[in-house]
Amino acid sequence: MCTFSSNLLFSSSSHLVNEAVLLVLEYMDGGSLTHVKRMAVGYMCLQGLAFLHANQVVHRDIKSDNILLGWDGAIKLADFGLCGWLGPKQGRRRSMVGTTWWMAPEVVRRHPYGPKVDTWSLGIVGIEMAKGEPPYFCETEDTAMYLIATQGAPDLYKLGLPSGLCDFLDWCLQMDVDRRGSAKELLQ
């Protein structure tokens, strides 16, 4: 009978404590597959956004529906119908476009904005991947827009997410655009 495989998690012992069985398992420092997937999705999306932004293009509708997965593990951004070009005469945009729950506060407020609206939206996708839906998704669009404009994202550290993910998302989801990371900065 086979007693060990390098592809199975090793359990060194088990203990009965207050009618609960506790297992002592081998430590896997790479994290779960879900964590690896989130990191891969974030990294590949940031690469795509950095390319768009370097070419003066703002996607303006980053959300999970517009992130497509290939059989080979490739992750690609899609749906460029709402893209905005930032030319020499128009370095910022003002139009309120995108999908409500993923919009950055400056878009909802109709303030001038640039490429960092995409990093905000990617941060919302990060919350969605971890929690199953974007913040304020159970709210009406009007209420969600009000909450985004006045509060931004919810307190990430109260969502029960890993601290490293919270730190990354916090940089994506800064209300102050000057403190928010660009795609290029977030890649480093």
The DSSP H or E segment spanning 52 is: helix 33-54
Catalytic residue list? 61
Quote the pLDDT of residue 93.
Answer: 87
Confidence of residue 89 (pLDDT cuts 50, 70, 90): confident
Quote the pLDDT of residue 173.
Answer: 98
In whole angstroms, give the CA distance from residue 61 to residue 79: 8
Mean pLDDT (whole number) for 13-20: 84
- The model's pTM: 0.82
Fold of the 31-187 domain: Transferase(Phosphotransferase); domain 1 (1.10.510)
Confidence of residue 136 (pLDDT cuts 50, 70, 90): very high
